[in-house]
Chains A and B, each alone.
Chain A
Amino acid sequence: MKKLLIGNEAVARGLYEGGADLVSSYPGTPSTEITEFLAKYDDSEVKSEWAPNEKVALEVAFGASLAGGRAVCCMKHVGLNVAADPLFTLSYTGVSGGLVICVADDPAMHSSQNEQDSRHYAIAAKLPMLEPADSMESLQFAKAAFDLSEQFDTPVLLRMCTRIAHSQSIAEVGERVQRDKKPYVKQAEKYVMMPGNAKKRHPVVEARMEALAEYAETCPFNRGEYTGDGKIGIITSGTCYQYVREALGDTVSVLKIGMPNPLPKKLIAEFASKVETLYVIEELDPVIETAVKAMGIPVIGKEKFSIIGEFSQTTIAKAFGKETAVGTTADSVIPPRPPMMCAGCPHRGMYYTLAKNKVTVLGDIGCYTLGAVAPLCAVDTTLCMGASVSGVHGFNRVLEGESEGKTVAVIGDSTFMHSGVTGLINVAYNGSNSTVIILDNSITGMTGHQQNPTTGYNIKGDPALKVDLEALCRSIGIGRVRVVDPYDLKACDTALKEELAAKEPSVIISRRPCVLLKTVKAKPALAVDPGKCRSCRRCMTLGCPAISFKGGKAVVDATLCVGCGVCKQLCAFGAFVGGDEA
């Protein structure tokens, strides 16, 4: 049956059809939906779980593979950094049941903090990698990846990118393969990676790569398309293949690479010999280009096609000197529309308090990164998952008394579970006088509302064990742990001042569920009494999208306002009326 599927759903379908027994992942745009779609299948077929982070997720998948099941782990590109430790040694142990690791890159950084190219991991960890170019291939490659994994006794990386992961195209849906789990056999020499065993496994890895390189020459993932007059040949992969065909049609020959590691060298040499001028068109780093050049084959690549950002058919057409259309624009200056915290976002009250107190804030990854944008401008750094808590410790260790009373770490509940808790152990253990604020909105927000160990629900939405954040922080050794409601500005201010003044590590849990959760009911909208508004613009410092200034007075957009009442507490003239009067 043919269906219009988003790339990530096609991957999930392919993994399901390929006999996936278990998926364990941590959400991350643009990879999240693979796991969400797998979670729609019953546990009797695919067991699905959110793990606290990608390292845990990959190790769970390893265990499942060891037990003879077909296992899956999905993450965004930076998640693979977290999972890199098990990844590199999994290359040595190999697998029992097929193990597929889906990693989604984000060229142009639609929702990411860097633009790293995951293909380097495949090369560095010596693992095969597949890269589909549309939803049909996403399904087929994902399904085939299990067989490849078991055939070559290796984890297989499936590389997605935003434009494949989040584009819908038509895919033919098939049936799930029926297979029995492989029996578990103890094989210490294969799975206990201490030096004596690992030394014996490394040659196995190298031999496997050679066998895979031979396989790559004739595998179904790579394809030479000899179209055109032979003047121009283009080696390309993934979404770039679509742009090349869109821009240049069948006027050029194309070597479409569906397996970027290991590359099919004979196929490349043969292709190069049949065309006059050879190009490599790939987004991000010159991975294929470097390999082709190392073969001594002249090729045009990054000098014509940027190492930065995404391409499109227009990029390709322009590079080949084709005329491209020019559109009409208005002459008016169009102001940008950056993302922002939602009206009623529980993070806003705490960020307002931090900005008001001129506190240095080491931030973290999530919706609350948006506390960095105007007008709050409350965040000083955002690096990676968990870096706020570890970072504030290092900051305070160097500046000591200069910074300790006016610096905090800010981290969300899910990010704290991911890798903030280890940083907090470090704060307690190494005894810095640091204050950590956990913005607990009871969900993983930015990636689209996934459950996590602090929410009390599992991936299916069924009740699950709920980590008690207060008890956890205390058990680590944090003596001062308190909870505030970020809708209560006075309470936030008091808590912040007291914890910054304390001469010991402290945690403030700023707790209020995400306003977008279906379980959160909006209160009546507020309005401004124009007679009372003195045009002081104090409410405008909140950066609430529901409040604007029209005709010199504040105005509330009743369609956006959820009645959180933070503006009402801020106004010295009582101009905000209505809402929840209680």
Chain B
Amino acid sequence: MSTTSIMIVGVGGQGSLLASKLLGKLLTDEGYDVKVSEVHGMSQRGGSVVTYVRYGDKVYSPVIGEGEADFIVSFEKLEAARHAACLKEGGVIIANTQQIDPMPVITGAAEYPEGVLEELTAKGVKVIGLDALTPAREAGSAKAVNIVLMGVLAKQLPIPAEKWLAAIESTVAPKFVEMNKIAFGKGLEQ
């Protein structure tokens, strides 16, 4: 099979590393060649963060360029728009509609653009926008936004839910497994 490329984007501290760890475990267990590229350090302090996940028969590059992503999973609305150019024609953006103001917006130096997801949809981009924060809180923690969104992604990939649940069991700390399974289930229901 050809390589599938997934980008996970968001704000530093939103839990993208756990999401990529989960995907990496799942796809490796499925027998794919997998590469995951993360960014650590400075940008994790509330900056814009990007994780690349690529899988297939043989994967060379760990990064994803313009027009190459099959899926962009965004933990925040503005970040979906920031990285939209990376989406391939016919690809899907899964975006949490939560708004987190970046510092230039907080200080009044810039404005948070209204309706960016709608703008992308109007241009023919397939966008699945959802409030992932509410189901995450219902599952037990606002931090579970990442796993709710993985549930939404799961519906787009040809891997059965029980494989995802098994991957959650082996990547999440034991005391958070049940909560994350519920969060994943809520994502699947969206």
Query: Which A residues fall within an 8 A CB radius of B?
Result: 2-4, 6, 29-30, 32-33, 110-111, 134, 162-163, 166-170, 239, 242-243, 245-246, 312-314, 324-342, 367, 370, 373-375, 446-448, 537, 540, 543, 545, 547-549, 559
Asked whether any CB of chain A lies closer than 8 Å to the CB of B185, the reply is no
Would you call A543 and B103 a contact (CB within 8 A)? yes
Pick from B35, B43, B86 the residue with the most CB of A within 10 Å: B35
Chain B residues near A4 (CB, 8 Å)? 24-25, 28, 34, 36
How distant is the Cα of A330 from the Cα of B78 in the complex, in angstroms?
10
Among A3, A111, A312, A327, point to the contact of B42 (Cβ < 8 A): A111
How distant is the Cα of A101 from the Cα of B73 in the complex, in angstroms?
38
With A328-B120, A338-B47 known to touch, is A168 a contact of B113 (CB < 8 Å)? no
How distant is the Cα of A370 from the Cα of B85 in the complex, in angstroms?
29
- Tell me how far the C-beta of A319 lies from the nearest C-beta in chain B, rounded to whole angstroms: 13
Interface string of B103-142 (1 = CB under 8 A from A): 1111111111111100110011100000000000000001
Would you call B66 and A324 a contact (CB within 8 A)? yes
Among A313, A328, A448, point to the contact of B63 (Cβ < 8 A): A313
With A167-B36, A329-B85, A330-B119 known to touch, is A336 a contact of B102 (CB < 8 Å)? yes
Would you call B35 and A167 a contact (CB within 8 A)? yes
Would you call B106 and A548 a contact (CB within 8 A)? yes
Interface string of B61-93 (1 = CB under 8 A from A): 111011110000000001101101111110000
How distant is the Cα of A325 from the Cα of B103 in the complex, in angstroms?
32
Would you call A242 and B60 a contact (CB within 8 A)? yes
Chain A residues near B101 (CB, 8 Å)? 545, 548
A interface: dominant SS? loop
Complex: chain B residue closest to A547, CB-CB? B106
Asked whether any CB of chain A lies closer than 8 Å to the CB of B33, the reply is yes
Would you call A545 and B106 a contact (CB within 8 A)? yes
Instruction: Count residues on chain B whose CB falls below 8 Å from chain A CBs.
Output: 64
Could you show 15 A-B contacts with beta carbons less than 8 Å apart?
A6-B38, A110-B43, A168-B38, A168-B62, A170-B34, A242-B60, A245-B60, A312-B63, A314-B66, A328-B125, A335-B111, A337-B79, A338-B47, A370-B45, A537-B108
Chain A residues near B79 (CB, 8 Å)? 337
7 closest residue pairs by CB, A with B: A325-B67, A111-B41, A327-B85, A339-B47, A29-B41, A332-B113, A314-B65
Among A326, A336, A370, point to the contact of B104 (Cβ < 8 A): A336
Q: How many A-B residue pairs have CB under 8 A?
A: 204
Asked whether any CB of chain A lies closer than 8 Å to the CB of B151, the reply is no
With A111-B42, A328-B85 known to touch, is A243 a contact of B60 (CB < 8 Å)? yes
How distant is the Cα of A239 from the Cα of B87 in the complex, in angstroms?
23
Asked whether any CB of chain A lies closer than 8 Å to the CB of B163, the reply is no
Query: Which B residues fall within an 8 A CB radius of A?
Result: 11-13, 20, 24-25, 28, 33-48, 59-63, 65-68, 78-79, 81-82, 84-89, 101-116, 119-120, 123-125, 142
Would you call B66 and A326 a contact (CB within 8 A)? yes
Chain A residues near B120 (CB, 8 Å)? 328, 330
How distant is the Cα of A370 from the Cα of B41 in the complex, in angstroms?
12
Complex: chain B residue closest to A247, CB-CB? B61
- Tell me how far the C-beta of A343 lies from the nearest C-beta in chain B, rounded to whole angstroms: 9
Pick from A6, A313, A335, A375 the residue with the most CB of B within 10 Å: A335
Would you call B78 and A328 a contact (CB within 8 A)? no
Would you call B46 and A340 a contact (CB within 8 A)? yes
Would you call B113 and A110 a contact (CB within 8 A)? no
Would you call A325 and B66 a contact (CB within 8 A)? yes
Would you call A170 and B33 a contact (CB within 8 A)? yes
Chain A residues near B68 (CB, 8 Å)? 314, 325
How distant is the Cα of A337 from the Cα of B46 in the complex, in angstroms?
8
Chain B residues near A314 (CB, 8 Å)? 65-66, 68
Would you call B78 and A335 a contact (CB within 8 A)? yes
How distant is the Cα of A382 from the Cα of B66 in the complex, in angstroms?
33
Pick from A242, A336, A370, A375 the residue with the most CB of B within 10 Å: A336
Among A243, A327, A339, A446, point to the contact of B61 (Cβ < 8 A): A243
How distant is the Cα of A339 from the Cα of B102 in the complex, in angstroms?
9
Would you call A335 and B61 a contact (CB within 8 A)? no
How distant is the Cα of A448 from the Cα of B38 in the complex, in angstroms?
14
How distant is the Cα of A312 from the Cα of B68 in the complex, in angstroms?
12
A sample of 5 more A-B contacts (CB under 8 A), given A111-B40, A328-B84, is A312-B61, A335-B112, A337-B103, A339-B46, A373-B103
- Tell me how far the C-beta of A397 lies from the nearest C-beta in chain B, rounded to whole angstroms: 32
Would you call B61 and A246 a contact (CB within 8 A)? yes
Would you call A327 and B45 a contact (CB within 8 A)? no
Would you call A559 and B142 a contact (CB within 8 A)? yes
- Tell me how far the C-beta of B166 lies from the nearest C-beta in chain A, rounded to whole angstroms: 15
Complex: chain A residue closest to B88, CB-CB? A325
With A328-B87, A332-B119 known to touch, is A29 a contact of B40 (CB < 8 Å)? yes
Among A326, A338, A446, A540, point to the contact of B102 (Cβ < 8 A): A338
Among A169, A334, A336, A543, point to the contact of B62 (Cβ < 8 A): A169
Would you call B65 and A374 a contact (CB within 8 A)? no
Would you call B45 and A339 a contact (CB within 8 A)? yes
How distant is the Cα of A305 from the Cα of B115 in the complex, in angstroms?
38
- Tell me how far the C-beta of A106 lies from the nearest C-beta in chain B, rounded to whole angstroms: 9
Would you call A340 and B103 a contact (CB within 8 A)? yes
Would you call B62 and A338 a contact (CB within 8 A)? no
- Tell me how far the C-beta of B159 lies from the nearest C-beta in chain A, rounded to whole angstroms: 16
Would you call B119 and A340 a contact (CB within 8 A)? no
Would you call A337 and B78 a contact (CB within 8 A)? yes
- Tell me how far the C-beta of B110 lies from the nearest C-beta in chain A, rounded to whole angstroms: 4
Chain A residues near B43 (CB, 8 Å)? 110-111, 339
